[in-house]
Structure 1
Amino acid sequence: MLRVSEPSFACLGGGHGLFQTLRAVRQLPHTSIDAIVTVADDGGSSGRIRKELRQVPPGDLRMALAALAPFDDEGLIWEQTLQHRFGGHGALAGHAVGNLLLAGLVDVLGDEIQALDMLRKTIRAEGRVLPVCDRPLDIAAEVSGLDDDPRIMREVRGQVAVASTPGTVRRVRLIPERPRAAQEAVDAINGADIVTLGPGSWFSSVIPHLLVDGITEAIAGTDAMRVVVLNLSAEPGETAGFSAERHLHILAQHDQRLRADVVIVDARMIPNQSDRLHLERAAKSLGARLAFYDLREEDEDGLLLERHDAEKLAQALQSEYR
C-alpha cells in the first residue's frame, strides 16, 4: 500500500479516550481529521438535553470539538469554555457550556451535523466531528453476577447503568437495533488513510460503533490502515477483570466481520511473553498484528497515570504508518 506523507484520519470512539486520540493525531502531519462519535450517553448534562429536547446527546461530541480546538491562546479559551460546567443548584447547574451551544445550534439549524460544523468553524477546530448516527441511541447489556446464581443474566439499560454495573457485562446491543450510520461518518471512513478504534469505555464508547449499520462494513472495506488502540487497563464496572485478550475477543464477538491491521498495546500492560502470545492469537482473529509501545502518561513526579499520553500515542501511530 502506498503511504501518503500527510494522511487523513477517521477516529472512532467517545469520551476521554477519543479526546486523547484526537490530541495525538493532531501532532502528526495530516490532511484531515474526522472524529466519529458515539451518541448513547444518557447521564448528566447530555442526558438532560437528550430527554428534554429529544436531541442527540452532545457531551461526547462537545469533548471531541474541545480536543480539536487550536493550540493557541484563543483556542485554549474555547477549549476551556466548551468544557466549563456551571455550578450552583439552579436549572443550569451541571450543564457544560458546549452542550448548551450545540443544543441551541441544533434547535436553530434543525440538524446535528450542521450544528457541529458551525461550531467547528467558530472555534477554528482542526477537524470535523460527526455523530456515528443521526439519532440518540440506548445501550442494553446482558449482565451476569447480579444474582446469587452467576449463570442468571439480567438486562441493564442505559450507558450510565452499563458503565457502573457491579455485574459482569457479557454483551451489548443498541436500541433501536442496527440503526443506520450517518452517511458522513461512512464517507469519512471510506476516505481515510488511517482509521482508529479505541481507546475508551469498551462497551459504551467503542463497541457501539460496530452495532451501527454501515460502520463495520466501511472499516472492513477501506484501504486505510486500521488501528485498534487497547485500553491501558480494565475499567471498574464495564470490563472489571477483563484481560487484554478478552477485550479483543469481545470486539470479534460483537461483529465477526470486523478487521484490523494493527493492535497498539501499552508494553507495561502485558509484561510477560505467555500473555503476549495469547493476545497475539486474539489479534490474529481480527487479521491484525500486535505493536507494543510505551503509551502511558506520567505526572510531574514520574507516576504512571491511567491515561494515554498523546505524544507517545502519536509516535506509535507514526511508527506503524511508515
Structure 2
Amino acid sequence: MSDSRQLRVVAIGGGTGLSTLLRGLKRYTASPAGTTPAGDPACPDLPCLIRDLSAIVTVTDDGGSSGRLREDLNMLPPGDVRNCMVALSEDEHLLSRLFQHRFKHGDLNGHSFGNLFLAALTEISGDFAQAVQTSSQILATRGRIYPSTTENATISARMDDGSLVEGETNITASKQTIRELMLTPHDAAPLPETLDAIAAADLITLGPGSLYTSLITNLLVRGIPEAIAASQATRVYICNLMTQANESLGLSAAQHIEKILDHAGEQIFDYALINTAPIGGATLEQYAREGQTPITADLERIRKLGIEPITGNFLHEGDVLRHNYDRVAETVLNLALKR
C-alpha cells in the first residue's frame, strides 16, 4: 500500500464481527496523540491510511448483562459498544482484561466492568451517546463509536410459520426461520453524526456479524440505508465464514446479500468479500455439531445482484473460527484506494 491518500472509513455492524474488523483497521489509523501506526513496534511498516474511523454499532441486545442494565437503568445496551471500545483502544491488552472482566458474586454477578463503566457515564452525562464519546476520549480510542440509534429500540421477527417473535434473545433462541425483521419504533432515527460520517466516507463496510441481529438491525434505522445508497464511497459487504444457527442456516453468500438488500430497500454494496479458502476438518466437525456449515460462494448469483465478489483466504482458525482481521482490513482498504 504505497498510496498517500488518507481515507474516511465507516464500519457498520455489531457483536464480535465488528470488533474483530476494527482491530485490523485500527492499525492503519493515527493514534489520538497524533502518532501513526508506523511508530507501533507491532506493525512498523504500516502506512497511516485512515484519517477518520467511525464504527456504527447495533443497540438492540436485551440479554445478559446488557439486558439487565437496559431494564434496570432504562439505558441502551452497552455490550457491543464496549467490545468496540476495547478493540479501538490504545492499550487493548490491559483494557480487554479490565473491561471484559465479569463479576462472579453478589448483585453484580454476570455484569462486566465495561458495561458498568458505560452505565455510570450515562448516568453522569444523562446521554448514552455522550457517554460513549467521553469514554472513547478517556480510553484514547483510535476512532469514534456511534450507536445506530439512541432510541430505546427493540426488534421483532416474522418467522416462516407466520409467528411473531419479539426481542433479540427470543429471536436467536427460536427454532423457526426468520423471514422479516422489524424495528420498534419503526421510525427510530440515527444520530446526525452517523449520517455525516456516512456522507463523508471513502469506504463503508457492513459485517461480518449475525445476519439479522448484528447487520440488518442497523439498516432498519431510518435514514441509514438511504445514506449508504447515496454515498460515493466504496461499499463492501464482508460475508460471514459459516452459516449461523437461528439466523442463516442453509443460506449461501448471495442469499445473505439478498436478505440484506430486501430489508435495506436500496443497493448498498459495490463489493462482497467472500472467503474461498478451505476450513480445517476439526473446525468443520466442531461447527457441524450446531448444524453450521461453510457459506457457499455462489459468485455468479452475487454478480447478478450488481455486486463484484472479492475472493481469497480470509480465515483465522483458533479455538473459534474468525476472520483474519489484518488480511480483511488490507483488502478493503485497497479496494477503496482503487477508486
Length-normalised TM-score, structure 1: 0.88
Alpha-carbon spacing, 1:153–1:123, altered in 2? closer, same or farther (3 Å): same
- Quote the offset at 1:269 in angstroms: 7.0
CA RMSD of aligned residues (A): 1.8
Question: Counterparts of 1:185 and 1:80 in 2: how far apart (Å)?
Answer: 29
- Quote the residue 1:260 is aligned against: 269
1:127 aligns with 2:143: yes
- Quote the offset at 1:14 in angstroms: 0.5
1:87 to 104, 107, 118: 104
1:139 aligns with 2:155: yes
- Give 2:157's aligned amino acid: A
- Quote the residue 2:62 is aligned against: 42
- Quote the offset at 1:260 in angstroms: 1.1
- How many percent of aligned residue pairs carry the same amino acid? 35
- Quote the residue 2:222 is aligned against: 213
Contact 2:89–2:141 (CA<8 Å) still a contact in 1?
A: yes
Q: Any stretches of 5+ residues in structure 1 without a counterpart? A: 145-151
CA deviations 1:223-271 (Å, max 9, x no partner) are 111111001011011112222221011012112213211111111379x
Question: Counterparts of 2:227 and 2:4 in 1: how far apart (Å)?
Answer: 20
Contact 2:198–2:204 (CA<8 Å) still a contact in 1?
A: yes
Segments of 4+ moved more than 4 angstroms: none
Question: Counterparts of 2:158 and 2:278 in 1: how far apart (Å)?
Answer: 27
Q: Any stretches of 5+ residues in structure 2 without a counterpart? A: 29-48, 280-295
- Quote the residue 1:21 is aligned against: 21
1:77 to 63, 74, 94: 94
Question: Counterparts of 2:277 and 2:195 in 1: how far apart (Å)?
Answer: 34
1:282 to 284, 291, 302: 302
Contact 1:39–1:135 (CA<8 Å) still a contact in 2?
A: no
Q: Structure 1 stretch 21-30 or stretch 53-62: which is displaced more?
A: 21-30
Question: Counterparts of 1:155 and 1:292 in 2: how far apart (Å)?
Answer: 37
- Give 2:138's aligned amino acid: T
Alpha-carbon spacing, 1:8–1:161, altered in 2? closer, same or farther (3 Å): same
- Give 1:82's aligned amino acid: F
Secondary structure, in 3 states, of the residue corresponding to 1:153?
coil
- Quote the residue 2:179 is aligned against: 170
Alpha-carbon spacing, 1:56–1:8, altered in 2? closer, same or farther (3 Å): same
- Quote the residue 2:45 is aligned against: none
- Quote the residue 2:283 is aligned against: none
Aligned residue pairs: how many? Answer: 299
1:66 aligns with 2:77: no
Secondary structure, in 3 states, of the residue corresponding to 1:263?
strand
Question: Counterparts of 1:259 and 1:280 in 2: how far apart (Å)?
Answer: 18
1:114 aligns with 2:130: yes
- Quote the residue 1:202 is aligned against: 211
Question: Counterparts of 1:223 and 1:94 in 2: how far apart (Å)?
Answer: 43
Question: Counterparts of 1:62 and 1:294 in 2: how far apart (Å)?
Answer: 29
Secondary structure, in 3 states, of the residue corresponding to 1:247?
helix
Question: Counterparts of 1:27 and 1:237 in 2: how far apart (Å)?
Answer: 34
Contact 1:280–1:289 (CA<8 Å) still a contact in 2?
A: no
- Quote the offset at 1:283 in angstroms: 4.7
Contact 1:140–1:155 (CA<8 Å) still a contact in 2?
A: yes
Question: Counterparts of 2:130 and 2:263 in 1: how far apart (Å)?
Answer: 31
Secondary structure, in 3 states, of the residue corresponding to 2:277?
helix
Alpha-carbon spacing, 1:193–1:109, altered in 2? closer, same or farther (3 Å): same
Question: Counterparts of 1:128 and 1:280 in 2: how far apart (Å)?
Answer: 36
Contact 1:233–1:269 (CA<8 Å) still a contact in 2?
A: no
Question: Counterparts of 1:283 and 1:105 in 2: how far apart (Å)?
Answer: 46
Contact 1:232–1:269 (CA<8 Å) still a contact in 2?
A: no
CA deviations 1:19-71 (Å, max 9, x no partner) are 1111121123211111100010000010011111111111111111011011x
Contact 1:263–1:283 (CA<8 Å) still a contact in 2?
A: no
1:291 aligns with 2:307: no
1:103 aligns with 2:103: no
- Quote the residue 2:12 is aligned against: 12
CA deviations 1:285-318 (Å, max 9, x no partner) are 2x3211002111023xxx8x42111112122213
CA deviations 1:48-98 (Å, max 9, x no partner) are 11111111111111111011011x4xx42123211111112x210111111
